[in-house]
Amino acid sequence: MLFFFLFFLCTFVGDMAGLYFHIPFCKRICAYCDFFRSADLRCMPQTIEAMHQELGESHRFISDRKLHTIYFGGGTPSLLHPSEFQRFIDQAAGLFDCSSVEEITIEANPDDITSEFVSELRLTSVNRVSLGVQSFDDEELKFMNRRHSAEEAVRAVRRLQDSGVENITIDLIFGVDGFDENVLRSSVERAIELDVQHISAYHLTIEPSTTFHRRLTRGQMREIDERQSEKEYLLVEKMLREAGYEHYEVSNYARSGFRSKHNSSYWQGVHYLGIGPGAHSFNGEERRWCSQSIADYIAGRRYEGERLSEQDHFNEYVMTSLRRAEGIDLDFVASRFGDGKCAKLIAHAERWREQGDLVLNDRRLYIPTSKFLISDSIIECLFEV
């Protein structure tokens, strides 16, 4: 308990950092996607060079820190030749203390995982691969405009495992109209059979300016109702828990020892530097982000930012903590934000505790994993306004 408190205190004030590279290119745009990305691959080489330049210029944003994790996200980082990852890693090693880096992740599309790609990847320091599988049902993959088949996804996992990659995570999406829990059950079964170390399972949200949103407004699809959402959520939860995965964050499940270290850092207030168009950075006091225009990015970077107030820090802590199984450490709240705020938080939580949506136990306030689906509503009510 004391160890966890001290660990959390250290991480919240920040004594280690993460480095994130955003590769904003995709060969094809998925029907649900509202991330910052472009299907115009012509600017990719210039963008990569601009990212090296940005790393050289921006490292001081978190410069006196040890790196613990490096993450290549997107977009589709697997569009790069693996040697490009190592070029970034080597550059980072010249700018930061990388002696404690434990996890280097790349996001990949299953159809990019060819034998050649894997052989080249094994020559780099990348030790974790996050595969955007989303479903093991070909019809559903087609509906989502994914560019791979279920078979290709299975082959990609096997290929990585056979080459010795021992830390693989896959993404799944549930809550898709027209694909009921039987389709979902087979996808989750397939994921479990593959024996990957980590699974992220996201409920579909239909965001404006996506193909799904256009279909929704034309009446060609609908959002599933709350009852169905809960059914599917609980199905995923039960299957993964019974298969030995720990449900440690709203959308994340891991085998023991395989929680995502990089994403856990975000949830624990660790400082991070984001490189690439649209990437965000945080140094404990300030959050800043680079403009979401590839042309602007190549021409010279422009940043926007905000300084976090005490209220922002408090709300951020409440949000990130309640999304995790451990929940809020009330001793930490009292020491970091004051006894008054701690007492107020406990009082605000009362209504949810009475309903069984929040639990107070051993100076920890947490949402039971079976109620994670409504975490956003609970968190919002506990914010300081």
- Looking at residue 229, its amino acid is S
What does the alpha-carbon distance between residue 253 and residue 311 come to, in Å, rounded to a whole number? 30
> Please, what is the minimum distance in Å from the beta carbon of residue 144 to ligand SF4?
8
* Binding flags for ligand SF4, 71-90, as an x/- string (CB under 6 A): ---xxx--------------
* Range list of H helices, 122-194: 138-143, 150-162, 181-193
* Sequence-distant (≥ 6) Cβ neighbours of residue 135 within 8 angstroms: 141, 144, 146, 150, 172, 173, 176, 179, 183, 187
Comparison of 75 and 269: residue with beta carbon closer to ligand SF4:
75
Of 24-32, 221-229, 255-263, 299-307: span binding ligand SF4 (CB under 6 A):
24-32
Comparison of 35 and 266: residue with beta carbon closer to ligand SF4:
35
Comparison of 133 and 365: residue with beta carbon closer to ligand SF4:
133
Comparison of 67 and 80: residue with beta carbon closer to ligand SF4:
80
Q: Is 252 left (phi over 0), alpha (psi -120 to 50) or beta?
A: beta
> Please, what is the minimum distance in Å from the beta carbon of residue 41 to ligand SF4?
12
Counting every residue written for the chain, the total comes to: 385
Number of chain positions touching ligand SF4 (CB under 6 A): 11
Q: According to CB under 6 A, which residues from 30 to 59 bind ligand SF4?
A: 30, 33, 35, 37
Task: Note whether 132 binds ligand SF4 by CB under 6 A.
Answer: yes
Cis status, amide bond into 300, omega within 30 of 0:
no
**Contacting residue, 9, 15, 29, 379, with ligand SF4 by CB under 6 A:** 29
- Looking at residue 165, its amino acid is V
- Residue 23's H or E segment, with its range, is strand 16-23
Comparison of 35 and 289: residue with beta carbon closer to ligand SF4:
35
| Helix/strand/coil percent split, the chain, to 5 | 45, 20, 30
Comparison of 76 and 263: residue with beta carbon closer to ligand SF4:
76
Chain residues that interact with ligand SF4, rule: CB under 6 A? 26, 29-30, 33, 35, 37, 74-76, 109, 132
